[in-house]
Amino acid sequence: MNQPKLIRITTVPMSLEKLLEGQLGFMSDNYEVTAISSEKERLEKYGKAEGVTTFYVEMTRKITPIKDLKAVWSLYKFLKKEKPQIVHTHTPKAGIVGVLASYLAKVPIRLHTVAGLPLLEVKGIKRKILNIVEKLTYSLATNVYPNSYGLEKIILDLQFLKKEKCKVLANGSSNGIDTEYFNPNLYSDIDKNKIKTNLKISGTDFVYVFVGRLVSDKGINELVKAFSSVQEKNKNTKLLLVGPLESDLDALEKETLIQINDNKNIISIGYQQDVRPYFAIADVLTFPSYREGLPNVVLQAGAMGLPSIVTDINGCNEIIEQNTNGLIIPVKDKEALFNAMFLVLNEKQLTEKLKSNSRKSIVKRYQRQVVWDAILKEYESL
């Protein structure tokens, strides 16, 4: 008996690799799965690793109407030929392209997961355009899944769709966390000392880590300024930046780029396939993002036993409980960020308390298998 066909679509393969790691392979036990994204070579490499078929569609993360229409046409032809039962999209551009093509191709079940709303940081005519696109995506989808309760509230408050069409699965998260993979016990003191030596971090340094794209709306401008203030008071501190520098969308301030380049205590190592070693040598995650869904990075850090300093935004304030497994600060507040960073540096008893609670809070609520089973159950119910 043939398995029903399931199509999963993201704008770029990195989202498949990082946001949905392992999930498509799990679904292939029950469905004939195809992954669709841009960047053909990287997509094909992902498909082989995950054991699923792939289909390349050129998509961009910018507003590019002509290219987007070409992507819709290419996807429409593919879907008419394949006749899948379910199309499930992630990320804004893949959402509108995938859901529109699926609607035109008469795919019966059209699902979209919302893992964040970039439009929240946009104003003027661009914001109006993005609002229209988001509403259109939701209207053409049969079901919409915000990956946090806070994000669900924002979507409903904006009146982008009605409650009966909207649902948070499990406790939130698009993929959950493999807490055996993200486990601090996998790294011995010898391992950690080697990693620190390679990065020129001394055993007495207090290490703040950020993992993610180096862009303005992740709070990097504020983070670099706050760290510089911390460093003025304590030289034995390091800021470790793990992630790609993106200059085409939401670029960092020039002063921030100069600081990252010139300050020897700021270590920027670019994109890393495996981020666990950098969590293992850090003392705290600093994640002053302006907007999120339910951020994987905060889940990963917690599973690795790290407390987090996060902004008071949806997702982050669902994972972190103030003074229990981390600290919550206002958005875009450099002084509050500095105060929190200085507090965990100096109040060792508090930091140890936050650290002791970090892993167990993630294990209890965000185990990967729980999220996967919830998504699979949702597919079957539809």
SS3 percent helix, strand, coil of the chain, rounded to 5, is: 50, 15, 35
Q: In the predicted model, is pLDDT for residue 168 greater than 70?
A: yes
The span from the CA of 306 to the CA of 286, in Å, is 10
Residues near 274 by Cβ (< 8 Å), separated by ≥ 6?
none
Residue 1 binned pLDDT confidence (cut-offs 50, 70, 90): low
Q: In the predicted model, is pLDDT for residue 198 greater than 70?
A: yes
Q: In the predicted model, what is the mean pLDDT of the chain?
A: 95
Q: In the predicted model, is pLDDT for residue 345 greater than 90?
A: yes
Residue 248 binned pLDDT confidence (cut-offs 50, 70, 90): confident
- Work out the burial of residue 226: count CB atoms within 10 Å of its CB; fewer than 13 is exposed, 13-18 middle, 19 or more buried: buried
Q: Identity (one letter) of the amino acid at 60?
A: T
pLDDT above 90: percentage of residues in the chain: 90
What are the residue ranges spanned by the domains of the chain? 5-176+368-381, 184-365
110 phi and psi angles, rounded to 5 deg: -120, 110
pLDDT (0 to 100) of residue 28? 96
Q: In the predicted model, is pLDDT for residue 337 greater than 70?
A: yes
pLDDT (0 to 100) of residue 106? 98
pLDDT (0 to 100) of residue 78? 98
Q: In the predicted model, is pLDDT for residue 236 greater than 80?
A: yes
Interval 42-65: pLDDT, tens = 999 999 999 999 999 999 888 888
Q: In the predicted model, is pLDDT for residue 223 greater than 70?
A: yes
Interval 143-164: pLDDT, tens = 999 999 999 999 999 999 999 9
Which whole-number Å values give the CA distances from 116 to 129, 150, 294, 314, 336, in the listed order? 17, 10, 8, 9, 24
Q: In the predicted model, is pLDDT for residue 89 greater than 70?
A: yes
pLDDT (0 to 100) of residue 63? 80
The CATH-assigned architecture of domain 5-176+368-381 is 3-Layer(aba) Sandwich (3.40)
Same CATH fold assignment for domains 5-176+368-381 and 184-365? yes
Residue 66 binned pLDDT confidence (cut-offs 50, 70, 90): very high
Q: In the predicted model, is pLDDT for residue 291 greater than 80?
A: yes
Interval 106-119: pLDDT, tens = 999 999 999 988 88
pLDDT (0 to 100) of residue 118? 83
Q: In the predicted model, is pLDDT for residue 359 greater than 80?
A: yes
Does domain 184-365 fall into CATH 2.30.30.90? Answer: no
**Token match 């199509």: residue?**
7
Q: Range with the lowest mean pLDDT among 60-69, 108-117, 164-173, 174-183?
A: 60-69
Q: Give 297-365 as a DSSP string.
A: HHHHHHHTT--EEEESSTTHHHH--BTTTEEEE-TT-HHHHHHHHHHHHH-HHHHHHHHHHHHHHHHHH
Residue 250 binned pLDDT confidence (cut-offs 50, 70, 90): confident
333 phi and psi angles, rounded to 5 deg: -115, 95
Q: In the predicted model, is pLDDT for residue 27 greater than 80?
A: yes
More confident call, 1 vs 247: 247
Which helix (H) or strand (E) segment holds residue 195: the answer is helix 189-198
Q: In the predicted model, is pLDDT for residue 102 greater than 80?
A: yes
The span from the CA of 305 to the CA of 359, in Å, is 5
Q: In the predicted model, is pLDDT for residue 313 greater than 90?
A: yes
pLDDT (0 to 100) of residue 293? 83
